């Protein structure tokens, strides 16, 4: 008999948040079958009616925003204001996707033959498997579930083992709002459950958000049982460029929020601060001062600035990376160690950390930390800054701070990332625009925006010939050779 999956409060790991049975192979088969039956009926529902059901989900999320935000804070350690933002993102996604229910579903194009019509439309893929991370336990499921449902699909979702309760609550609110209960199924477990779901022959599309190594395994597993649509969102090593003419007050605000918001546990977190030498020391001094003043503590307390990282394993990994950076020649000027917080015994807290003297070849400059660690790297000019940012296997998000509009526009063209910010940190994506990156960050798909529906549907091209005779395109309307 499989053991239950238990989630705990990372601020107080002795506190159990929720417990769910781990789903075995038979359970996954049963969940997929329930979705298969329900999806057949759902695909026949008019798209505007699907959209109305999704809008109702958004209304339910809004009505329960406070309770759901507190659950997010307890289960994954986000401070309350960020937990509320997580839920709000799902509310916004529901509104946006619902709006697409009455938007164009394809395009009509001219035909080269008379009395002939050609157009495209979208067709559901069938059953979508989604594997979601813990760091956005409500927002990211909404990015996947709502577009998939609007496209006419059914969904089986496997949340992270660290955030099962958030996902269960999200789905419960959706099904209580009019989404057919059998249409969205939640399964629980670790890598084995994910692999079983991904390989399932009835699953036609897989959407995964997580680490590069796991993403590679997901992609390989998906191809074992026939071709599937596979979308991967895998991480980043995001950098903020600061030029000499930048507004330094704005820079410091952005660097602190970008690096230490969500305890640095966003795929878009600001991990590298690439600073022109003329302002390097001043920026470092001010960021260090702010980092040292941040309050670590219980994330459900409103005065807390930085909550815990997700667990002790993550804490140890982050600390090991900081130690390795020092061994390679970097210096710690703020933080650099685990912190014991009164009232949060056993909590996985790591001090907001600033490293200087970091060079491109250092591990801390190349690998994703996923923790509250900012590596500062000095550069001589714009050209070196852009080259430094692009010298990474990741390409998710980048930012530039400058008052020079020409430099800003050149950066938007030359930075090899899927997202570029000007005078804003590397975090803060909005749901109406595509989200994703280049290189090892993913496999070319984009989530959110109109692309969200596209990644969960197939394009169907339709030709209607009402001429009453055989018309041979490229033959009848062109002279023979």
Q: Work out the angle at residue 443's Cα, subtended by the Cα atoms of residues 442 and 447, and round it to the nearest 5 degrees.
A: 70
What is the SS3 string spanning the chain?
Answer: CCCEEEEEECCEEEEEEEEEECCCHHHHHHHHHHHHHHHHHHCCCCHHHHHHHHHHHHHHHHHCHHHHHHHHHHHHCCCHHHHHHHHHHHHHHHHHHHHHCCCCCCCEECCCCCCEEEEEEEEECCEEEEECCCCCCCHHHHHHHHHHHHCCCEEEEECCCCCHHHHHHHHHHHHHCCCCCCCEEECCCCHHHHHHHHHCCCCCEEEEECCHHHHHHHHHHHHHHCCCEEEEECCCCEEEEECCCCCHHHHHHHHHHHHHHHHHCCCCCEEEEEEEHHHHHHHHHHHHHHHHHCCECCCCCCCCCECCCCCHHHHHHHHHHHHHHHHCCCEEEECCCEECCCCCCCCCEECCEEEECCCCCCHHHCCCCCCCEEEEEEECCHHHHHHHHHCCCEECEEEEECCCHHHHHHHHHHCCCCEEEECCCCCCCCCCCCECCEECCECCCCECCCHHHHCCEEEEEEEEECCCCCCCCCCCCCCCC
233 is catalytic: yes
User: Which is the catalytic residue, given 233, 344, 368, 447?
Assistant: 233
Count Cβ atoms below 10 Å from residue 116 Cβ, excluding itself. 15
CA distance readout (Å), 442 to 206, 234, 364, 386: 13, 5, 21, 21
End-to-end CA distance of the chain: 73
Cα Rg of the chain, angstroms? 24
359 is catalytic: no
User: Which is the catalytic residue, given 82, 267, 344, 447?
Assistant: 267
Q: Which residues are catalytic?
A: 233, 267
């Amino acid at each position: 008999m499989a053991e239950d999956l238990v989630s705990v409060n990372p601020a107080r790991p002795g506190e159990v948040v929720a417990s769910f049975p781990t789903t075995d192979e038979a359970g996954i088969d049963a969940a997929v079958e329930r979705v298969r039956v329900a999806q057949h009926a759902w695909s026949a529902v008019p798209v505007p009616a699907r959209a109305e059901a999704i809008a109702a989900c958004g209304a339910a999320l809004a009505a329960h925003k406070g309770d759901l935000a507190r659950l997010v804070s307890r289960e994954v350690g986000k401070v309350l204001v960020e937990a509320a933002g997580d839920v709000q993102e799902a509310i916004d996604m529901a509104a946006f996707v619902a709006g697409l229910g009455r938007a164009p579903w394809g395009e009509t194009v001219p035909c080269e033959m008379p009395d002939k019509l050609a157009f495209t439309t979208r067709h559901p893929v069938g059953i979508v498997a989604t594997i979601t991370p813990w760091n956005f336990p409500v927002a990211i499921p909404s990015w996947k579930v709502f577009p998939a449902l609007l496209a006419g699909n059914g969904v089986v979702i496997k949340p992270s083992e660290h955030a099962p309760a958030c996902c269960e609550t999200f789905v419960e609110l959706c099904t209580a709002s009019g989404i057919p209960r059998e249409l969205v199924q939640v399964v629980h477990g670790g890598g084995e459950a994910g692999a079983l779901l991904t390989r399932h022959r009835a699953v036609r599309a897989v959407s995964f958000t997580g680490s590069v190594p796991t993403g590679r395994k997901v992609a390989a597993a998906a191809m074992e049982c026939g071709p599937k649509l596979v979308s991967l969102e895998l991480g980043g090593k995001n950098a903020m460029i600061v030029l000499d003419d930048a507004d330094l007050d704005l820079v410091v605000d952005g660097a602190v929020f970008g690096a230490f918001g969500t305890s640095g546990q966003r795929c878009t977190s600001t991990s590298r601060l690439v600073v022109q030498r003329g302002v390097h020391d001043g920026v470092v001094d001010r960021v260090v001062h702010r980092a040292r003043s941040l309050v670590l503590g219980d994330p459900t307390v409103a005065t807390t600035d930085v909550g815990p990282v997700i667990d002790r394993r993550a804490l140890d990994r982050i600390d090991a990376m900081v130690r390795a950076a020092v061994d390679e020649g970097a210096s710690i000027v703020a933080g650099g160690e685990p912190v014991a917080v009164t009232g949060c015994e056993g909590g996985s807290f790591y001090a907001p950390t600033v490293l200087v003297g970091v060079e491109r070849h250092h591990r801390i400059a190349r690998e994703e930390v996923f923790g509250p660690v900012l590596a500062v790297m000095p550069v001589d000019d714009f050209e070196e800054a852009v080259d430094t940012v692009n010298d990474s296997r990741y390409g998710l998000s980048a930012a530039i701070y400058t008052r020079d509009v020409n430099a800003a526009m050149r950066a938007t063209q030359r930075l090899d990332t899927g997202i570029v910010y000007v005078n804003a940190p590397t975090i803060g994506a909005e749901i109406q625009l595509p989200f994703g990156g280049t290189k090892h960050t993913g496999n070319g798909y984009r989530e959110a925006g109109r692309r969200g529906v596209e990644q969960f549907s197939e394009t169907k091209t339709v030709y209607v010939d009402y001429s009453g005779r055989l018309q041979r395109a490229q033959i009848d309307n062109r002279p023979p050779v």
